[in-house]
Structure 1
Amino acid sequence: MARKFDVVVLGAGAAGMMCAIRAGGRGRSVLVLDHAKAPGEKIRISGGGRCNFTNIHATAKNYLSGNPHFAKSALARYTPRDFLDLVEAHGIAWHEKTLGQLFCDSSAKDIIRMLLAEMRKVKAELELQAEITSVEKTLDGFRLATSSGPVETKALVVATGGKSIPKMGATGLAYRIAEQFGLKVTETRPALVPLTLDPGLLEKLAPLSGIAVPAEVRHGKTAFREALLFTHRGLSGPSILQISSYWREGDEITLVIEPDMDMAAMLKAARGQNGRQAPQTVLAETLPKRLAQFFVETRGIASHLADLSDKAIHALASSIQSWTIRPAGSEGYRTAEVTSGGIDTSGLDSRTMEARAVPGLYFIGECVDVTGWLGGYNFQWAWASGHVCGEAL
């Protein structure tokens, strides 16, 4: 005999638990199913284990989507302040880092414990290590075949995330369910992910591995100004992760290292003061020594500053502050923080997250074609989409 619930949520991540909390708070009987051994695994590893749980600046402009307006309703109705109120009500100490990013002082596990406590308060049930073998529509809802027996529900909420970090159990279940019920799924890609370089360029940049510098990374009209990290596989750091969501294979990106400085002006001033200095000596006052040496050697400069013309100085400065690179690819879903693309928003109601053509079926969180910038934006989308969905159930 099937167990019956008002709401079944697939996925015990950020969006799924938030939805369960709100639906349970409205008096609905709720069951959350997840195939993992523990809830909130992506929460646990996020922010270096301290969970960058939201960003105080989150608005729809911080998200990529086929419909840039889709996220507006949910984000306006459940704000970063709303989630922060919940965090503070549970006595969780937090701090703000750069660019409006909020983190736990102690551990990301505090956020998981908070969500579980809120679920218990509203009597939402959680079942882990649960496999879903089939989903079918019934006259008054849905019937699921699970590893612990059949379940029937009036409303089914899919919050199983995207494809990123498969070692943590990420699957394409949400997309399969969407396609089963006739919803469109846009192209999915790894996002917020390090970029790789072809073997030739990688070998050339090998001495720079481990170096981090302030940079502005540009792709077309999009630019992010944060740290850049050279790695043994290619390029990483916040600025690269940000631009990776916009980059496509074959595209170039431009690196502007130390964007707040005018390298050409600095080199010319140094030439006027002491022309006998080597260019890398001057550059090493601002750049890591290995990086300064790399740029000078790449330009084939073996002379003093006094021997460099204005043209040669500008060429050297340009190699540092207008450095065009064509990445070979990305590290893929293995290390991607999120998946871009997903359930096409044209098939969903932005106020409730319900599938327009399938009453009672909802999609929330990362599986939807709404992808946030790095820095707490994706968690805010999870909280907001989960909350407004729970309000509608």
Structure 2
Amino acid sequence: MWRGGAVGLFCAGVAGQLGKNILVLDHAEILGENIRNSGGGRCNFTNLHSSPVNFLSLNQHFVKSALARYPSAEFIKLVAAHGIDFHEKHQGQLFCDDSAKQIIEMLFAECSKGKVTIRNPVTIKSIQQEGDLWAVATDDGLEKSRAVVMATGGLPVPAIGATAYSLDIAKQFGLNVIAPRPALVPLSFTAETFGNLNELAGLSIPVRIAAGSKGRRYGACRFNEDLLLTHKGLSGPAVLQASGYWEEGEPIHIDWLGAIERPGGFNCDELFNNEENRVKLSETILASVLPQRLAKAFADQRGLTGRKWAEVSKKDRQALKELLTNWSVKPAGTLGWKKAEVMLGGVDTKDLDGQTMISRKNRGLFFIGACVDVTGHLGGHNFQWAWASGFVCAQAL
């Protein structure tokens, strides 16, 4: 028995086809909303390159078994077998050509093959252990089972049914829960820390971004992704990726030139030392590698606007280079759960068996998907964790 989101439906379908008697209980009137709203309505259902390095967890090794037993290639085979056309986008991200509804329909079809019973909307009143059985009291009666699978997702986007119920059940039965916080979320800034760049809202640019450190909760990161300047601060894939590693009170570091792609490569030193640039204005030189508005903003910030490059001292050139390649800014915070795509933290992996997702303390109690302290990078990795953790759980039921 479990919730009918992505991981719950997938796990139910696999288990049902293995001959298990499966009942899915969900409080939502419409199932699969987390899928329907993903990927701009086309569902970024996995990533070709999904591997343990694409996940954050206090135990980096925990994901290895599940991902090895059910890699992205296996889910891709399932998608293809259902005749769903898809395409690859940035860095291995796979999307449906048509609609995310196709993935939902596929999961329901797999459940149908496994003769899975789905009951919704149903409110769970309590879950209790009675000897070798689990008693689940609902507003539609009492259900008893040898196993309970908790697949309620994480805290983000409560409007589509995500709740903290799995975390509550984990605590009820003595499992540790890593304090959750929003991730894959935009960061906010004060006017003082953000400076004149808040006038550039709507501008997008590829950058290299770094956050966190080895001694922190989830270590350090470095990503080459697009950054979006907004009225409230910074967003876009670069910032969403970094948000999981960022700790309150710490800065993030942005190399505005680090993700430039040019035939033969881009040499930052050539930009600052090229003698052919001597008669050009500083903002013109910067505009050769940066959007014009951003180039002028940085030239203004260093007092170089209107000055020819030959008039700029080596010291000022070096200071400008440092500003552009190691721009450090301290976020005021995140934009919170309403803007977050996923949750960091969750059920402590120390209390779960990574090969089965079963509680080490409670026979027959499983936790899968986003409620576990495993969070994927942007780009289909969180769905891949859902499929992988759901698969190994189904095998163990």
Bucket of the pairwise TM-score, normalised by the shorter protein: over 0.9
CA deviations on 1:137-183 (whole Å, 9 max, x unpaired) are: 11231111212222221110000011111222321101000000111
Distance in 2 separating the partners of 1:363 and 1:28: 18
In structure 1, the partner of 2:286 is 283
Counterpart contact for 2:199–2:231, Cα < 8 Å: no
Shift of 1:273: 2.1
Counterpart contact for 2:210–2:254, Cα < 8 Å: yes
Counterpart contact for 2:136–2:143, Cα < 8 Å: yes
Counterpart contact for 1:364–1:382, Cα < 8 Å: yes
In structure 2, the partner of 1:4 is none
CA deviations on 1:253-284 (whole Å, 9 max, x unpaired) are: 11001314444521432xx2253321111212
CA deviations on 1:230-250 (whole Å, 9 max, x unpaired) are: 111111111111111111100
In structure 1, the partner of 2:229 is 230
In structure 1, the partner of 2:243 is 244
In structure 2, the partner of 1:175 is 167
Distance in 2 separating the partners of 1:35 and 1:290: 49
Counterpart contact for 2:193–2:330, Cα < 8 Å: no
Q: 1:15 aligns with which of 4, 7, 24?
A: 7
In structure 2, the partner of 1:347 is 351
Shift of 1:342: 0.6
Distance in 1 separating the partners of 2:287 and 2:195: 22
In structure 1, the partner of 2:337 is 333
TM-score, normalization: structure 1? 0.94
Q: What is the DSSP-based 3-state SS (H/G/I as helix, E as strand, rest coil) of the residue aligned with 1:157?
A: strand
Distance in 1 separating the partners of 2:56 and 2:272: 40
Matched, 1:364 2:363: no
Distance in 2 separating the partners of 1:157 and 1:199: 46
Q: 1:292 aligns with which of 275, 280, 295?
A: 295
Shift of 1:129: 2.0
Distance in 2 separating the partners of 1:98 and 1:274: 34
Distance in 2 separating the partners of 1:149 and 1:258: 61
Superposition pairs of residues 115-264 of structure 1, within 5 angstroms: 115-202=107-194, 204-219=196-211, 220=213, 221-259=220-258, 260=260, 261-264=266-269
Letter in 2 for 1:74: A
Distance in 2 separating the partners of 1:156 and 1:274: 68
Matched, 1:385 2:384: no
Q: What is the DSSP-based 3-state SS (H/G/I as helix, E as strand, rest coil) of the residue aligned with 1:27?
A: coil
Counterpart contact for 2:12–2:111, Cα < 8 Å: yes
Q: What is the DSSP-based 3-state SS (H/G/I as helix, E as strand, rest coil) of the residue aligned with 1:112?
A: helix
CA deviations on 1:31-84 (whole Å, 9 max, x unpaired) are: 111122211111111111111111111121211111111111111111111101
Q: What is the DSSP-based 3-state SS (H/G/I as helix, E as strand, rest coil) of the residue aligned with 1:74?
A: helix
User: Measured at CA, do residues 80 and 162 of structure 1 come closer, stay the same or move farther in structure 2, by a change above 3 Å?
Assistant: same
TM-score, normalization: structure 2? 0.93
In structure 2, the partner of 1:320 is 324
CA deviations on 1:280-335 (whole Å, 9 max, x unpaired) are: 11212221111011101111124221201122112112211110011111111111
Letter in 2 for 1:223: R
In structure 2, the partner of 1:39 is 31
Range that drifts further, 213-222 or 250-259: 213-222
Q: What is the DSSP-based 3-state SS (H/G/I as helix, E as strand, rest coil) of the residue aligned with 1:187?
A: strand
Letter in 1 for 2:352: L
Matched, 1:102 2:94: yes
Matched, 1:268 2:260: no
Shift of 1:372: 1.0
Distance in 2 separating the partners of 1:321 and 1:347: 42
Matched, 1:76 2:76: no
Count of residues in correspondence between the two structures: 383
Distance in 2 separating the partners of 1:316 and 1:37: 56
Letter in 1 for 2:147: A
In structure 1, the partner of 2:263 is none
User: Measured at CA, do residues 274 and 365 of structure 1 come closer, stay the same or move farther in structure 2, by a change above 3 Å?
Assistant: closer
Q: What is the DSSP-based 3-state SS (H/G/I as helix, E as strand, rest coil) of the residue aligned with 2:346?
A: coil
Distance in 2 separating the partners of 1:339 and 1:48: 19
Matched, 1:301 2:304: yes
Runs of 4+ in 1 over 3 A off after TM superposition: 260-264
User: Measured at CA, do residues 85 and 274 of structure 1 come closer, stay the same or move farther in structure 2, by a change above 3 Å?
Assistant: closer
Distance in 2 separating the partners of 1:47 and 1:321: 31
Q: What is the DSSP-based 3-state SS (H/G/I as helix, E as strand, rest coil) of the residue aligned with 1:188?
A: strand
Distance in 1 separating the partners of 2:171 and 2:277: 68
CA deviations on 1:6-51 (whole Å, 9 max, x unpaired) are: xx11x21111111101110111111111122211111111111111
CA deviations on 1:108-140 (whole Å, 9 max, x unpaired) are: 111011001111111111122221111111123
Counterpart contact for 1:251–1:327, Cα < 8 Å: yes
Cα RMSD (Å) of the superposition?
1.4
Distance in 2 separating the partners of 1:91 and 1:205: 47
Q: Gaps (5+ residues) in structure 2?
A: 214-219, 261-265
Q: Gaps (5+ residues) in structure 1?
A: 1-7
